[in-house]
A and B are shown apart, each in its own frame.
Chain A
């Protein structure tokens, strides 16, 4: 019986990965749609029947390490399977960049209920910091990665303080204005290249291996996009671990308290200002890192990439994926970034499909794909 259960559990996991893979490689609209429908059906089935949910949960707690290893293996092997399709590796990388942004934003929208639309601005801060220092001062990528994060975190701190004077919709308005101001400034400043932006950002390198050259392993040649893909996987993993630390600490608890009731929170001795500014800075730090990685992967950046649309997309990812649930947010970034790319046929209707997904989500799962889980103190 136990063996059968294990086989069934890993079977479900493998079917899930297979569907994700098929969804990625299919090229005809109908077959893409089929794979996507199967994925949605699978998740709806699990949501609909608690027995299935319980079964998967039991399976996961019994085979935690092997099932995570299987997932990691899938993530690592994916670029090899997609080596004939570099563009697909690139959109996966892009989904990773957005996962970094969304995991950070989740600390604000999900954990603390600060609906922040400044992601475009913080993403830009990281990207421009990295680009300017790389082009003019030729600083290496690995140094610029944390520096861009710190630069964005500083901006977050500076923006966070005046934001604390406002709440709810007004706070959101302030952050929207901030994104638009940054966009306009970047368009009009000379040293940021105005609307043309900055080009000639060199590829990063690790030892003797340049990120611009393909990975050659055992006679295999994986396109150069895989370099960035693997890097973003590592960064997303780190951010996920940081998320877990925040979540299961006094900080995550305090954020949740503020989300529910600020007055009651302050009466428990929680310093509202400190924890709110902390959530701003932490979020912006990872936005900055994501921005730097974006700049180095593109080689060229311009203000167009940092418009208000970025902020809206990331907010949508968090809402669709699941407020205050990092696993949901990861899945959300995958779906919200890859789906529009896969339906290139409907190029003109991309925003329409985007809107349709959000509407469907709000109708079927108003709390997002994954509701927040309950903390246990083992």
Chain B
């Protein structure tokens, strides 16, 4: 926790779907500039937790405080404008338009030109899009030169790993205060994963005040980038702390490897 208090804090955050409690009384905290890992078995509520923070789901109870302001009940686009950007587990890019268009769309919350400008002050619109395109090219070059060269390709024509990179670029283009990455290395080869982790660390070096929450299955990845780790199981937070401690926690090992009396736990 930093001196100015956490950037994100949830208190007893809960959502139920029918009888199922997907996220159950979760207290969660991210400090300014902190890199937090979020792990847990499949279906433990990690992605649902992201959907709650970004306003896609409305919590059944509990609060979400972002810089001290309660986000519960606000719409996704309002929350995005406050400075929270995210990526999705199964890659939700705008696939039939170009890479460049996608990244410029990531800047939507910052851009100001509206209907009036479009018809009566088109110069503003053009200038805004042009600066956007330049910024997008810089972001792309940060990740890879090849990606920069294919900036006018439609996203659907890119290889899988590049799509994941573009989605991270789109999220970064929003200049967020808090970035939520949902399995950024999902479906990548070990080499590509390693490269991506280096890129994320590089991003973090240039934007020191950026706070990050990363969902990841790969323990090795989490170990390298997260300062602190939360572990979810069946919607509940079962552990939190530095990776070295978490990895030895019997409850965590049990959640990942299963326990002998599994029926009793369910």
Contacts and interface: CB of A to CB of B under 8 A. Distances in A.
Interface of A: 242, 245-246, 248-251, 253-254, 256-257, 259-261, 263-272, 278, 372, 374-378
Contact of B174 (A248, A269, A374): A269
Given A249-B118, A272-B77, A267 B86 contact: yes
Contacts of A270: 77, 105, 108
Contacts of B80: 266-269
Nearest to B110: A269
Interface string B231-252: 0000000000000000000000
A261 B174 contact: no
A246 B81 CA distance: 23
Given A268-B170, A270-B77, A250 B111 contact: yes
A357 B132 CA distance: 42
A290 to B, nearest CB: 19
A257 B94 contact: yes
Contacts of B115: 251, 278
Given A256-B97, A256-B101, A267-B86, A245 B152 contact: no
A269 B81 contact: yes
B114 to A, nearest CB: 8
B256 interface: no
Contacts of A245: 118-119, 122, 125
Contacts of B208: none
B174 A268 contact: yes
B105 A254 contact: yes
Given A264-B93, A376-B152, A377-B132, 7 more contacts: A249-B125, A261-B92, A266-B76, A267-B85, A267-B86, A374-B97, A374-B98
B152 A253 contact: no
Contacts, number: 110
Contacts of A257: 94, 97, 105, 108
B53 to A, nearest CB: 11
Q: Which of B55, B75, B92, B113 has the most CB of A within 10 A?
A: B92
28 contacts: A245-B122, A248-B125, A249-B117, A249-B125, A250-B125, A253-B104, A253-B108, A256-B94, A256-B96, A257-B97, A261-B93, A264-B93, A264-B94, A266-B76, A267-B56, A268-B77, A268-B106, A268-B170, A269-B108, A372-B96, A374-B98, A374-B154, A375-B97, A375-B100, A376-B152, A377-B104, A377-B132, A378-B130
A372 B77 CA distance: 27
A228 to B, nearest CB: 26
B62 to A, nearest CB: 21
Contacts of B130: 377-378
A265 B129 CA distance: 18
Q: Which of B81, B101, B133, B170 has the most CB of A within 10 A?
A: B101
B57 to A, nearest CB: 11
A264 B154 contact: no
A119 to B, nearest CB: 22
Contacts of A269: 77, 80-81, 108-109, 174
Contact of B129 (A248, A254, A266): A248
A374 B77 CA distance: 26
Nearest to B125: A249
A327 to B, nearest CB: 18
A278 B119 CA distance: 14
A98 B96 CA distance: 27
Contacts of B96: 256, 259-260, 372
Nearest to B128: A250
B105 A253 contact: yes
Nearest to B85: A267
A372 B95 CA distance: 13
B28 interface: no
A374 B129 CA distance: 14
Given A261-B92, A377-B130, A268 B105 contact: yes
A318 B86 CA distance: 35
Contact of B92 (A249, A251, A263, A378): A263
Interface in B146-178: 152, 154, 170, 174
Contacts of A259: 94, 96
